[in-house]
C-alpha cells in the first residue's frame, strides 16, 4: 500500500517518532512522511509508534492508498524533501 | 475534489495561514486540513496562501483525490478534530 503519515507529538518524543518513521517511509516535510509500505511493515511501524507515543496527548494520522497513482501531489513554496512534486 | 493540505510555515505566519485554510477546509490536526473543495475554491485558496506565505521559507503540500473513498484514514492516539476516523 502507499501511505501518508502525519504526526503531532510532544516535543520530547519527536526525535524517537521521527526515527521510527524514517525506517519505513520517506520524510517529506516537517512531521509528514510518505511511501510504499507492506502490510507487515505497517503493522511493525504502528507497533513501534505505540510504544513510544503518549496516547493521551499525541496524535498520528495515516492515509492509506492502493498506490501513489490515486492522488495528485502539489507543493507551494519550498520543497523540503521530495519524492516527486508538481509545481503548484 | 477531496483535498488534504499540510502546512509548514514560519511561526509568525501560522495564524494567517490557519485562518485561510479554515475558510475552505476542515482542520484535523496541528497543521493538517482536509475536505471537499471545488476547483474554483482551490484556486482561491492557493491564491490567498500565496499572498501570505514566504515562498523562500514556507512549504504547503496538498494531496488531491477524486473523493474521500480513495483512501482509508486511521488515527493512533488522540483524535484532535475529526471528520470520520477508524480506530487504528
**Contact check, Cβ <8 Å, A78/B72:** no
- Rounded to 5, what percent of chain B is helix, strand, coil? 30, 35, 35
Average pLDDT of every residue of chain B: 88
Q: Which of B67, B8, B52, B37 is nearest to A7 (CA)?
A: B8
The model's pLDDT over B27-45, given as tens digits with 9 standing for 90+, comes to 998 889 999 999 999 999 9
Q: In chain B, which residues have pLDDT < 50?
A: 84-88
Q: What are A's interface residues with B at a Cβ cutoff of 8 A?
A: 4, 6, 8-9, 28-32, 46, 49-50, 53-65, 70-80, 88
Closest-CA distance, B6 to chain A, in angstroms, reads 8
Tell how strand A32-36 and strand A59-65 pair up: unpaired
Q: Is the ipTM of this complex over 0.85?
A: no
pTM of the model: 0.84
Specify the pLDDT at position A29.
86
Amino acid at each position: 500500500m502507499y501511505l501518508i503519515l502525519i504526526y503531532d507529538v510532544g516535543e520530547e518524543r519527536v526525535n524517537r517518532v521521527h526515527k521510527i518513521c524514517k525506517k519505513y517511509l520517506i520524510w517529506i516535510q516537517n512531521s509528514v512522511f510518505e511511501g510504499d509500505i507492506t502490510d507487515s511493515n505497517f503493522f511493525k511501524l504502528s507497533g513501534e509508534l505505540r510504544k513510544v507515543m503518549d496516547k493521551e496527548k499525541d496524535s498520528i494520522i495515516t492515509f492509506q492508498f492502493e498506490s501513489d497513482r490515486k492522488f495528485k501531489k502539489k507543493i507551494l513554496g519550498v520543497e523540503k524533501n521530495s519524492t516527486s512534486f508538481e509545481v503548484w
